[in-house]
């Protein structure tokens, strides 16, 4: 399998784009009312703890993806079913995000376009980009996403300058107590989006210079968390907690209220395109994680071999996974959070980390700062001295 590398800036941008990808679309922390931004801030700190578990697990197997780590710790008997579970999970999450953005486009700027056409075109562009490799995908994020952030910053500055931003909508702070804030922060605002970063264990082996991985990843979590918090704070200040809680797309409603001198109006089309850009990278990371995991599990030459079949699964599944957007949201924010995300993002990685500590201790290795068994991209064992002599991939 061809060895590729991504730079630290590319990884940082991909992780930030992944976090805010679909999180900008929907209202978060609804039960907290005007304190939703506090719940988001608290969720970010829980998210840092979750990502620390991922980083700690990866530190024992610095050349292995999540699939290879599972196989190395559990063997093929127990490992293969769990690996298949994660591959299906990444594919399922890609389908959910595709559905989110297809509904957004169909309800806003592509009203007369069939949703199936939007989905097929969206998936086709993503797979075409990914077939160039993770390096190409990383360079694309490096070029596009900074522009997205600049335009988003200008947009919110415009909202503030228009006079739509009202501080009174944010008060009183913690009037109803902290119970709702804690319930929203964990698990809802922890697993979405920070727990979803588990898919990056599939990408971390491609980083050139892994000594900076922890700093880059934690900085990305802080950046993404602060951006989400600021976004929620701004939407609450513009709409108020009542409107924020009942609107399906509160960000669009917020920017539609902008009017400066009857000249600068209706900038929501630009915001939609920015939101779609974030969704593009989130879906792409999930698709690549599923494709790479399949390649590692079945020892294929390249993840590109399964990307088209994955696209052929994701496109129709995203259409039939729920009868309507209401059921789709209820499943994603209810059943998935309580049972799917908590299990696959927190419980199983924590157990794998514990198992890796026990295995290292049993093998007589130090518990910190040492790699576990090295494997190549096909999951085969490599000689440790040889791997060290060759350096990082």
Give the CA-trace dihedral at 11, 14, 19, 21, to 10 degrees.
Answer: 180
Length of the chain: 393
Q: What is the pLDDT of residue 367?
A: 42
- Domain limits, the chain: 8-352
Per DSSP, 27 falls in state -
Q: What is the pLDDT of residue 374?
A: 45
Retrieve residue 64's tokens.
């292995």
Q: What is the pLDDT of residue 194?
A: 94
CA nearest 162: which of 230, 260, 75?
Answer: 260
Low-confidence ranges of the chain (pLDDT < 70): 1-2, 175-177, 258-267, 364-393
In this structure, what are the phi and psi dihedrals at residue 259, rounded to the nearest 5 degrees? -155, 110
CATH architecture of 8-352: Up-down Bundle (1.20)
Q: What is the pLDDT of residue 120?
A: 94
Q: How far apart are CA 95 and CA 319, in angstroms?
A: 8
Retrieve residue 271's tokens.
């915001």
Q: How far apart are CA 274 and CA 260, in angstroms?
A: 21
Q: How far apart are CA 269 and CA 332, in angstroms?
A: 26
Q: What is the pLDDT of residue 260?
A: 57
In this structure, what are the phi and psi dihedrals at residue 262, rounded to the nearest 5 degrees? 55, 25
Q: Which residues contact 145 (CB under 8 A, 6 or more apart)?
A: 13, 16, 17, 277, 278, 281
CA 27 to chain centre: 17
**What is the pTM assigned to this prediction?**
0.89
Q: What is the pLDDT of residue 177?
A: 66
Q: How far apart are CA 179 and CA 385, in angstroms?
A: 53
How are the residues of the chain apportioned to helix, strand and coil, as percentages rounded to the nearest 5? 75, 0, 25
Q: How far apart are CA 310 and CA 118, in angstroms?
A: 17
Rg (CA), the chain: 21
pLDDT tens for each residue of 107-143: 888 888 999 999 999 999 999 999 989 999 999 999 9
Q: What is the pLDDT of residue 259?
A: 60
Residue 6, strand partner residues: 207
């Amino acid at each position: 399998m061809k060895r590729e590398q991504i730079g630290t800036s590319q990884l940082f941008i991909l992780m930030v784009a992944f976090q805010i990808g679909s999180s900008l679309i929907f209202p978060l922390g609804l039960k907290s009312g005007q304190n939703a931004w506090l719940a988001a801030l608290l969720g970010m700190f829980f998210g840092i703890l979750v990502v620390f578990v991922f980083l700690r697990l990866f530190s024992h197997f610095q050349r292995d993806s999540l699939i290879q780590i599972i196989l190395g710790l559990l063997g093929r008997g127990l490992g293969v079913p769990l690996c298949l579970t994660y591959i299906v999970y990444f594919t399922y999450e890609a389908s959910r995000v595709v559905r989110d953005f297809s509904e957004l486009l169909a309800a806003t700027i592509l009203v007369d376009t069939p949703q199936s056409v939007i989905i097929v075109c969206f998936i086709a562009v993503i797979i075409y980009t990914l077939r160039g490799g993770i390096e190409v995908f990383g360079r694309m994020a490096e070029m596009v996403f900074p522009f997205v952030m600049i335009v988003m910053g200008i947009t919110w500055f415009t909202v503030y300058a228009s006079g739509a931003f009202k501080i009174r909508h944010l008060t009183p702070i913690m009037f109803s107590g902290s119970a709702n804030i804690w319930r929203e922060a964990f698990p809802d605002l922890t697993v979405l989006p920070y727990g979803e970063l588990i898919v990056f264990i599939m990408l971390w082996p491609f980083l050139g210079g892994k000594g900076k991985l922890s700093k880059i990843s934690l900085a990305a979590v802080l950046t993404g968390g602060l951006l989400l918090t600021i976004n929620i704070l701004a939407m609450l200040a513009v709409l108020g907690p009542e409107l924020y809680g009942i609107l399906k797309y509160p960000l669009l409603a917020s920017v539609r209220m902008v009017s400066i001198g009857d000249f600068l109006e209706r900038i929501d089309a630009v915001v939609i395109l920015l939101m779609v850009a974030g969704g593009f990278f989130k879906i792409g990371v999930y698709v690549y994680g599923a494709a790479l995991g399949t390649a590692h599990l079945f020892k294929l030459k390249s993840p590109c071999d399964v990307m088209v079949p994955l696209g052929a699964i994701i496109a129709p599944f995203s259409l039939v996974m729920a009868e309507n957007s209401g059921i789709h949201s209820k499943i994603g924010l209810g059943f998935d959070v309580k049972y799917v995300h908590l299990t696959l993002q927190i419980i199983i990685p924590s157990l794998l980390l514990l198992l890796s500590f026990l295995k290292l201790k049993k093998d007589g290795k130090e518990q910190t700062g040492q790699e576990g068994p090295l494997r190549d991209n096909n999951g085969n064992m490599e000689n440790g001295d040889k791997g060290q002599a060759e350096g990082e991939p």
